[in-house]
Amino acid sequence: MTKKSIVIFLATFLVFFALLSCKKRVEIKPPAPPSQKAEEKAMPVEEVKEAPAVAKPELSEEEIFKAKTLEELNREKPLQMIHFDFDKYDIREDAKPILEKNAEWLRRHPTVKILIEGHCDERGTEEYNLALGEKRAKATMEYLVALGISPNRIKIISYGKSRPLDPGHNEIAWAKNRRAEFVIIAK
Amino acid sequence: MRIFKVYLSFIVIFGFLAIVAFNQQEVVIRIKGGMPAIPVALPKFIIHSDNPKIIKAAKEIHDVLKADLKFSRVFELVPEEFYSYIKLLDPNNILFKDWESIQSNVLIVGEVSSSKDNKLIFTGSVYDVRSGRFIFGKKYRGSSNLVRLIAHKMADEMMKAFGEKPVFTSKIVFVSDRDGNPEIYMMDYDGYNQIRLTFNDVIDTLPALSPDRTKVAYTSYRRANPDLFVFHIYTGKTIPISTKGANYAPSWSPDGKKLVFCSSRSGNHEIYIVDEDGKNLRRLTFNKAIDTSPDWSPTGREIVFTSDRSGSPQLYIMDAEGTNVRKISYGGTYHDSPSWSPNGDKIAYVSRVENRFDIYVLDLRTNEIFKLTENNARNENPSWSPDGRHIVYSSNVSGTIQIYITDYDGKNTRVLTSKGNNKMPDWSY
């Protein structure tokens, strides 16, 4: 008997034996029945929720604006105030971007009419401050008009030094009080 | 000191001329140079009643009259202890030698009684002590709540008899926020009888009292714009005068028929004249600058005002037609609120130096400046007394803004108000 024939014999025997044993195992091991516990874990919990509230139809910016009273609008201060230098009424560089923003808002709301209030600090006399406050309001108005806002939409008024924002008697208070404020008077 | 002397000599001359002009009765006034205060004896009044109300009223009239005469700077009171050196006053037999011995020039004899209708009767008789001559007498009847007015009227008669303009029944209008927001009020010269005139619940500001004291011109924001109104104090009528643009800082013409004020109705702050009923509006200034704070001269021929045409607020005078404008302020960068003295020779105004405002007086003849306040505060809106010896103004020296009176030389400063903030006083002619 040659070495080759021994190998073939052994291989054939192994294959046969293996096949025999495979078949046997399949028959012996049926699938195990799933246990009671496992079945419980697998059950998904369904969270019970209320139906979502009925949404109100989404409002456009225009509609939100229309729904507000003048008082509510003014409380939100959509138009920012600007400040002035001591004894001066020309528009400062830092006020220009603020006025541009204000003009943009006014263009978006073309029905709005505004009142520009000119105010002064306490370091001016009563009479001269009334004039200076009006000059400030007027300079502010003219800047907005130059940006394309109709002068018919703007009124001006001066309060002189009678309505300070900050009642203090120092540079910080004075700087705050030299201002032009915007009040929406019609929409 | 020099300005002081010049002023006094002017008072003396003016006073004397006035006496010559007004008083044909021969009143001899001795002026020995310096302070021309006339020594007055004001002994206790003689009371012809047992009524405790009358006794109390008599004392009050005496007190008020004494305070008025002290205030005047025209009279000075002989110290009361001197009266004990001489015999008690007998109105039917006045021993003038006695009164002369205690250095009084003038003797006021007051008698108080009650009328049948339970009113108070006050009789004041004024004598020249050296000559023993009766100068004048006055008899007043009124209810006992009018004792202050009776005393003020008597004091005014004293002023008139000595060639002076009456002061004591004059009124001061002003702005107070004591009831929440700025409203117009009125008071006696001594701070008594403060009454509210406007009820607009908005800003009412910069009042001016008419020379006859029956009307107040003022600015109100009642129609959401600073408009000028004239309020008739004793009828309650309010008449709109100028309602276009901003309108403020009125001043009455001396005859009480016109107003001069500042308005931005043309788009810029200019000075205008208008009749007291709002008719015949006429523009006086034509300038790109701010023109404001006009005040009429006592002759009515000129107007002083503030303008920043030179770059900063300065004082100018123009003719009442708007012509002949000339600058009068100098030596400062910020002047405003001019007030022309009733004698026509001076202008009181506010000047800002650093952050302080002080009241200054410019003598138009000598061009000299006298600083009236010096308290490291904001002193504003000066206004002259009808006789030009006192100035009322507002100051924040106490922390709140209150109304003060001071004499032409800055002496005898006293406060008139205390409730809330009180400002922008205007003293009637």
| pLDDT tens-digit map of B323-352 | 999 999 988 899 999 999 999 999 999 999
**B403 and B274 in one domain?**
yes
Q: Which of B133, B161, B189 is the last residue of a domain?
A: B161
Residue B266 CB coordination number (10 Å): 13
Asked if residue B279 is part of any domain, the answer here is yes
Q: Measured on CA atoms in the order B330, B331, B335, B341, is the torsion positive or negative?
A: negative
**B188 and B155 in one domain?**
no
**B381 and B283 in one domain?**
yes
**B147 and B26 in one domain?**
yes
**B374 and B292 in one domain?**
yes
Distance from CA of A84 to the nearest CA of B (A): 17
Q: Measuring CA to CA, how many Å separate B126 from each of B47, B102, B396?
A: 17, 17, 42
> Residue B40 is part of which domain span?
2-161
Asked if residue B252 is part of any domain, the answer here is yes
Q: Which residues of B touch A177 (CB under 8 A)?
A: none
Asked if residue B104 is part of any domain, the answer here is yes
Q: Which residues of A touch B306 (CB under 8 A)?
A: 127-128
**B196 and B150 in one domain?**
no
pLDDT at position B242 is 97
pLDDT at position B355 is 86
**B409 and B308 in one domain?**
yes
In this predicted model, what pLDDT tens digit does every residue of A86-136 receive, in sequence order?
Answer: 999 999 999 999 999 999 999 999 999 999 999 999 999 999 999 999 999
Asked if residue B390 is part of any domain, the answer here is yes
Q: Which residues of A touch B180 (CB under 8 A)?
A: none
Asked if residue B333 is part of any domain, the answer here is yes
- Of chain A, the percentage scoring pLDDT greater than 90 comes to 63
Is B269 an 8 Å CB contact of chain A? Answer: yes
Nearest to B271 by CA among B258, B282, B285: B285
Q: Which residues of A touch B225 (CB under 8 A)?
A: 157
pLDDT at position B88 is 87
Cβ–Cβ of A157/B264 closer than 8 Å?
no
Cβ–Cβ of A131/B269 closer than 8 Å?
yes
Secondary structure string (H, E, C) spanning B393-405 = EEECCCCCCEEEE
**B82 and B199 in one domain?**
no
Asked if residue B79 is part of any domain, the answer here is yes
As a dihedral over the C-alpha atoms of residue B186, residue B188, residue B191, residue B196, rounded to 10 degrees, the angle is -20
Of B264, B355, B380, the CB nearest to A126: B380
Token readout for B363 is 């003598």
Q: Which of B112, B141, B161 is the last residue of a domain?
A: B161
**B271 and B149 in one domain?**
no
Q: Which of B111, B138, B161 is the last residue of a domain?
A: B161
Of B264, B312, B380, the CB nearest to A125: B380
Asked if residue B15 is part of any domain, the answer here is yes
**B392 and B264 in one domain?**
yes
pLDDT at position A44 is 80
Count of structural domains, chain B: 2
CATH number for the domain whose boundaries are A67-186: 3.30.1330.60
Q: What is the mean pLDDT of each run of 10 residues along chain B (429 residues)?
A: 50 48 41 66 95 94 98 95 90 93 96 91 96 96 94 97 95 97 97 96 96 97 96 96 97 97 96 97 96 97 97 97 95 94 97 94 96 94 97 97 96 96 94
**DSSP tag of B266:** T
**B225 and B115 in one domain?**
no
Distance CA A171, CA B332 (A): 22
- Is the pLDDT score of A24 beyond 60? no
**B379 and B298 in one domain?**
yes
Cβ–Cβ of A162/B380 closer than 8 Å?
no
Q: Which residue of chain A comes nearest to B333, CA vs CA?
A: A87
pLDDT at position B424 is 98
Q: Which residue of chain A comes nearest to B220, CA vs CA?
A: A159
Cβ–Cβ of B206/A126 closer than 8 Å?
yes
Asked if residue B284 is part of any domain, the answer here is yes
**CATH assignment at residue B87:** 3.40.50.10070
- Is the pLDDT score of A34 beyond 90? no
